A and B are shown apart, each in its own frame.
Chain A
Amino acid sequence: MSSKAKTVIILLLVCVLIAVVPLAFIKDSEFGGSDGAAEEAITEIDPTYEAWADPVLEPPGGETESLLFCLQAALGAGVFGYCFGMLRERSKYQKSNAN
């Protein structure tokens, strides 16, 4: 395995670790969004404040919302993977042409 590939794998493992450690060690939390926490903070600072606008389309529930978020990630990952694969094939092609 090349040293570059090793670096990549180690780096990615570190990422997973960073994300998993809080999950493993903080038991009494649902890991709600930090903007939810901010909403509470605003209410605390200014109890009379009321949101003056509502989201245009609010997903009816967690499932639909997760669908849309997955869609966003899928779109991004699809385009990203396509381009990355193309670049890789191109450099392979160029290399075999050079030989």
Chain B
Amino acid sequence: MKTKQKKIIFSLTLLLLPLVCSPTVNAMHIMEGYLAPKYCIAWGVLCVPFLIAGFLSIKKTLAEHRKALMILAMAGAYAFVLSSLKIPSVTGSSSHPTGTGLGAVLFGPFAMSVIGIIVLLFQAILLAHGGLTTLGANTFSMAIAGPLLSYGIFKLCEKLKVNKLVAVFLATALGDLFTYVITSIQLGIAHPSEVGGIGASIGKFIGIFAITQIPLAIIEGIVSVVVMIGLESYAKSELTDLGYFKGGAIHVK
């Protein structure tokens, strides 16, 4: 037992280290100034109800389950780490995972909106990555749409009695990918092509963002499963409180 635990922690660290230290280049999120003001405002406004719902949902969860605060901190930290890892992909470009799917599986569809916007603010202000004018659009894709899909897939898997860890994999990987599909759609709407219009533009941006993202989405899915294996071992009571084991069969090795 003891060595097993050590191994989980050790291998997690090992995995994260080289990725953190790899040379960095700019990747993903819609860049500052690359959406016309009307789109910035529209996406921003669209985010507000989700942010309120997220804030209320976190408040409610923490009021009911005080102990879940630590798991929430971990979900936030996880998003912080994953969204800083720029990983090379098959298209010859780099991009990074979102890390918001895991939190959505644990805390419901809205909670990650608040955590996601914190990550995006950090990157926009300090890293010139993403941007303040495009914050609304980026929040919508990474902190709202992605987690919503993750949550939906997880619930669907629960209904279909899919193994929990498989469900976590599908939910987080597809949520990650969906984020970039939304990014492509946002850019496509804002920059319609002269030939083919919005549709052609969306296709083009999907070719850039979404294809690059496929292997990264798989990585995010796998890492999320590893984290979940860890949490299932050590935080069973919190996961039970959060309703993770509800429905499908509990995964025990």
Residues of A within 8 A of B (CB): 1-5, 7-9, 11-12, 14-16, 18-19, 21-23, 26, 28-39, 41-42, 45-46, 49-59, 62, 65-66, 68-70, 72-81, 83-88, 90-91
Contacts of A19 in B (CB 8 A): 19, 87-88, 215, 219
Which of B55-63, B143-151, B223-231 lies at the interface? B223-231
**Does any Cβ of A come within 8 Å of B159's Cβ?**
no
Ranked nearest first, the 7 interchain pairs of A and B with the lowest CB-CB distance are: A76-B80, A51-B33, A33-B27, A29-B92, A55-B128, A76-B81, A53-B33
8 Å CB contact of B234 from A29, A42, A88: A88
In the complex, are the beta carbons of B253 and A76 less than 8 A apart? Answer: no
Q: Contact between A69 and B74 (Cβ–Cβ < 8 Å)? A: no
A-B contact list, 23 entries, CB within 8 Å: A9-B11, A11-B222, A12-B11, A12-B226, A32-B26, A33-B86, A34-B27, A35-B29, A42-B187, A45-B192, A45-B193, A45-B201, A51-B33, A55-B131, A65-B127, A69-B127, A72-B83, A74-B20, A75-B80, A81-B9, A83-B73, A86-B70, A88-B5
Q: In the complex, what distance in Å separates the CA atom of A42 from the CA atom of B202?
A: 11
Question: Could you tell me the distance between the alpha carbons of A3 and B33 in the complex, rounded to whole angstroms?
Answer: 50
B4:A4 contact, CB within 8 angstroms: yes
Taking a contact as CB atoms under 8 Å apart, the answer to whether A34 and B222 are in contact is no
Contact residues in B for A37 (Cβ distance below 8 Å): 93, 208
Indicate if the CB atoms of B15 and A12 lie closer than 8 Å: yes
A78–B13 alpha-carbon span in the complex (Å): 11
Residue of A nearest to B253 (CB): A4
Give the complex CA separation of A82 and B17 in angstroms: 16
Given contacts A56-B132, A62-B24, contact A41 B127 (CB under 8 A): no
Count, A-B residue pairs, CB within 8 A: 239
B interface, by DSSP: helix, strand, loop or mixed? helix
Whole-angstrom CA separation of A30 from B14 in the bound complex: 24
Neighbouring B residues of A46 by C-beta, 8 Å: 191
Choice from A34, A41, A90 contacting B28 with Cβ under 8 Å: A34
Instruction: Please name all residues of chain B whose beta carbon is closer than 8 Å to the beta carbon of A66 when the two chains form the complex.
Output: 23-24
Closest to B89 in A: A22
Measured in the bound complex, the distance between the Cα atoms of B163 and A3 in whole Å is 17
In the complex, are the beta carbons of B92 and A58 less than 8 A apart?
A: no
- Choose from A18, A55, A73 the contact partner of B218 (Cβ within 8 Å): A18
A24 vs chain B, min Cβ distance (A): 10
Residues from chain B with Cβ under 8 Å of A62 in the complex: 23-25
Q: Whole-angstrom distance between the alpha carbons of A35 and B132 in the complex?
A: 16
Give the docked Cα–Cα distance between A97 and B127 (Å): 47
B192 surroundings in chain A (CB, below 8 A): 45
CB distance A33 to B95 under 8 Å?
Answer: yes
Whether the pair B219, A69 counts as a contact (CB closer than 8 A) is no
Q: How far is the CA of A76 from the CA of B13 in the complex (A)?
A: 12
Assess whether B131 is in contact with A53, with CB atoms less than 8 Å apart. Answer: yes
Chain A, residue nearest B190 (CB) = A42
B235 in contact (CB, < 8 A) = yes
Chain B residues with CB under 8 Å of A65's CB are 24, 127-128
Which residue of B is nearest A74, CB measured? B20
Identify the closest chain B residue to A42 (Cβ): B191
Task: Tell me whether A8 and B191 are in contact in the complex, defined as CB-CB below 8 angstroms, given that A42-B34, A65-B127, A69-B84 are known contacts.
Answer: no
